[in-house]
C-alpha cells in the first residue's frame, strides 16, 4: 500500500516530472501498452495510490468496436482486449462508465468495496467486477483527442481511504499530456490496422515504409490465386441488396480464411472476385497455395450445405492458380494510386479461373505451378489448352479427387459453345 503523501503542493514535483517524461521521454517508445505501464509505475513509485488503470479506445476495425488496455498492480504484462460491437449498448443498459463518458459525462467517480459485496443486483453494475480485488476507489475521465474525439481513461486506488483530492487533481492534470501521447500511438496503430484491412499486411508495410510513388514497387516470384463467384450478376439483379451483400461476404469468408491461415495475402477484392498471392520467398509457398485451394473448396462445400439447409440456391465458383514473376506496387493516376500486382502470371491465373467455367472443375492449376508444388499425386493433368493472349497452349491440372467425386459441376452450355468457337477442346463431351 502506498504512503499517503497528501497535498497538491507535495505532488507538484511528481506532476512536473511526469509531464516532462510524457512529452519528451516517450518519443522513442512505439507501443502504447508500454507507455501505460511506465506511466502507472511512475505514479505508484511517487506515492500515488493507483493500483489499476485502463484505456478504452475506439478503433476502425470490421470486427471490433474498440480495445481496452489494462495495467494492474501485480500483473507482469499489460493486457489488451478487443471490445465487440454491442459493448456500449450493454454498458449503457447497465449505466457503465464507458458509455457514460463517451456520451458526454466529464467524470465518473465511485467508491468500491475492497472486500466485495453481496448487494442484490450489484452484478449488473460493470464496476461490480472490481469489488473484492482490494480496490477502494474508482475514477474515470474522457481522454480527449484532436477535434473533440472522446476515448476514456480510468484509475482505481488500493488505499483504504481511496484517492485523495490531491491525487485526483494530479491525475486530471496529467490527462491532456497523456492524451497527446496516446493519440499519436493509437493513430499509428489505426493507420496500420486500416492498411492491413484494405490492402493487406505486406502491402501495408511497404506503404508505411515509403513505397508511395507511382511506379514504385518490386518484382518478385509468387504463386497467384484468383477466385470468382459464379452467377453474381443474376443474383444482384434478382435478390435484395442485403442478401446480395451477405452472400458475397459468405463467399469471401469461405475463400479468404484459408488464404490467411496459410500465409497468403489478399491484394484486392474485385466485385465478386479476389486476387491473392503467396510470395515464393517463403519456401513452402506453393504447398501453402495448394492447401489453400483445397481448404477453400471444403469451405465452399460447407457453405453450400448450410445454404441448402436454409432453402437457398447453391453457389458456383472458380479458382485459377499460377506461378511466375509479377510486379507488385503502385499503379494509377497522378492523384489516385492502387497497390496491386500485374504481370503475365496474373493474366494466366485469370484465364485459368475463366476456363473453370468451360471444363467444369472448380480449381485449375497451371503446369508451371504443378511442377513446383510437389503435390505428391494430389494433382491430375487434364491436357493442354489454348488461352487467349498466350502464344502456346497451356498445360492444365486440377485436383485428382475432382475426377472421381462431386468436384466437377456441369459446365454451362453457353460457356462450352463459346470456347469451341475459339478452338479450345472441352474434355469428356
Distance, in Å, from the CA atom of 327 to the CA atom of 345, rounded to the nearest integer, reads 10
Q: How far is CA 215 from the centre of its chain?
A: 27
- Going by C-beta distance under 8 Å and a sequence separation of 6 or more, which residues neighbour residue 43? 14, 18, 50, 170, 171
- Going by C-beta distance under 8 Å and a sequence separation of 6 or more, which residues neighbour residue 265? 200, 201, 202, 203, 259, 276, 277, 278
Using alpha carbons only, give the angle 127, 131, 135 rounded to the nearest 5 degrees.
100
Q: Name which CATH class applies to 9-198.
A: alpha beta
Write the CA distances from 174 to 14, 229, 244, integer angstroms: 10, 54, 50
Contact (Cβ atoms closer than 8 angstroms) between residue 392 and residue 378 = no
Distance, in Å, from the CA atom of 251 to the CA atom of 300, rounded to the nearest integer, reads 7
Q: Nine-digit cell at 299?
A: 469451405
Q: What SS3 string covers 211-222?
A: CCCCCCEEEEEE
> pTM above the 0.75 mark?
no
Q: Name which CATH class applies to 201-421.
A: alpha beta
Distance, in Å, from the CA atom of 409 to the CA atom of 428, rounded to the nearest integer, reads 13
| pLDDT digits (tens), the chain, 429 positions | 555 555 667 788 899 999 999 999 999 998 999 999 999 999 999 999 999 999 999 987 877 889 999 999 988 789 998 888 888 787 766 678 898 898 899 999 999 876 555 444 444 456 667 767 889 999 999 999 998 899 999 999 999 999 999 999 999 999 999 999 999 999 888 888 888 878 777 778 878 777 778 878 788 999 999 999 998 888 888 888 888 999 999 999 999 999 999 999 998 898 899 999 999 999 999 999 999 999 999 999 999 999 999 998 899 999 999 999 998 888 888 888 777 888 999 999 999 999 999 999 999 999 999 999 987 789 999 999 998 888 889 999 999 988 766 555 544 444 444 444 444 443 332
DSSP-derived letter for residue 200 is -
The angle that helices 285-309 and 241-261 make with each other, rounded to 10 degrees, is: 150
Q: Quick one: CA dihedral 276, 280, 281, 287, positive or negative? A: positive
Q: Domain segments of the chain: what residues?
A: 9-198, 201-421
| In 175-241, beta strands by DSSP E | 217-229
Amino acid at each position: 500500500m502506498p504512503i499517503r503523501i497528501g497535498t497538491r503542493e507535495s505532488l507538484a514535483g511528481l506532476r512536473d516530472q511526469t509531464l516532462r517524461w510524457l512529452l519528451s521521454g516517450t518519443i522513442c517508445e512505439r507501443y502504447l501498452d508500454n507507455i501505460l505501464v511506465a506511466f502507472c509505475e511512475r505514479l505508484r513509485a511517487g506515492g500515488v495510490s493507483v493500483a489499476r488503470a485502463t484505456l478504452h479506445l475506439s478503433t476502425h476495425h470490421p470486427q471490433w468496436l474498440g480495445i481496452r488496455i489494462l495495467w494492474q498492480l501485480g500483473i507482469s504484462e499489460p493486457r489488451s482486449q478487443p471490445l465487440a460491437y454491442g459493448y456500449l449498448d450493454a454498458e449503457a443498459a447497465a449505466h457503465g462508465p464507458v458509455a457514460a463518458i463517451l456520451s458526454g459525462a466529464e467524470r465518473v467517480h465511485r467508491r468500491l468495496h475492497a472486500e466485495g459485496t453481496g448487494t442484490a443486483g450489484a452484478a449488473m453494475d460493470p464496476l461490480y467486477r472490481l469489488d473484492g480485488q482490494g480496490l477502494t476507489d474508482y475514477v474515470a475521465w474522457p481522454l480527449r483527442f484532436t477535434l473533440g474525439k472522446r476515448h476514456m481513461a480510468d484509475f482505481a486506488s488500493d488505499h483504504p481511504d481511496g484517492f485523495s483530492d490531491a491525487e485526483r487533481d494530479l491525475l486530471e492534470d496529467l490527462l491532456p499530456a497523456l492524451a497527446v501521447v496516446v493519440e499519436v500511438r493509437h493513430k499509428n496503430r489505426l493507420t496500420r490496422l486500416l492498411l492491413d484491412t484494405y490492402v493487406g499486411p505486406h502491402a501495408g508495410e511497404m506503404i508505411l515504409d515509403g513505397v508511395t510513388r507511382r511506379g514504385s514497387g518490386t518484382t518478385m516470384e509468387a504463386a497467384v490465386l484468383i477466385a470468382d463467384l459464379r452467377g453474381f450478376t443474376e443474383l444482384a439483379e434478382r435478390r435484395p441488396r442485403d442478401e446480395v451483400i451477405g452472400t458475397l461476404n459468405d463467399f469471401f469468408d469461405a475463400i479468404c480464411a484459408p488464404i490467411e491461415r496459410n500465409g497468403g495475402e489478399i491484394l484486392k477484392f474485385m466485385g465478386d472476385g479476389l486476387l491473392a498471392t503467396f510470395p515464393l520467398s517463403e519456401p513452402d509457398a506453393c504447398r501453402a497455395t495448394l492447401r489453400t485451394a483445397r481448404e477453400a473448396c471444403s469451405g465452399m462445400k460447407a457453405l453450400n450445405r448450410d445454404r441448402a439447409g436454409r432453402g437457398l440456391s447453391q453457389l458456383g465458383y472458380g479458382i485459377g492458380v499460377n506461378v511466375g514473376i509479377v510486379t507488385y506496387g503502385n499503379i494509377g493516376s497522378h492523384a489516385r494510386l492502387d497497390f496491386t500486382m500485374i504481370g503475365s502470371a496474373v493474366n494466366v491465373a485469370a484465364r485459368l479461373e475463366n476456363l473453370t467455367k468451360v471444363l467444369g472443375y472448380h480449381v485449375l492449376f497451371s503446369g508451371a505451378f504443378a511442377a513446383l508444388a510437389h503435390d505428391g499425386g494430389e494433382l491430375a493433368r487434364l491436357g493442354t489448352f489454348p488461352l487467349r493472349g498466350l502464344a502456346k497452349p497451356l498445360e492444365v491440372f486440377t485436383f485428382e479427387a475432382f475426377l472421381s467425386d462431386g468436384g466437377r459441376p456441369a459446365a454451362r452450355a453457353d460457356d462450352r459453345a463459346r470456347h469451341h468457337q475459339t478452338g479450345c477442346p472441352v474434355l469428356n463431351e
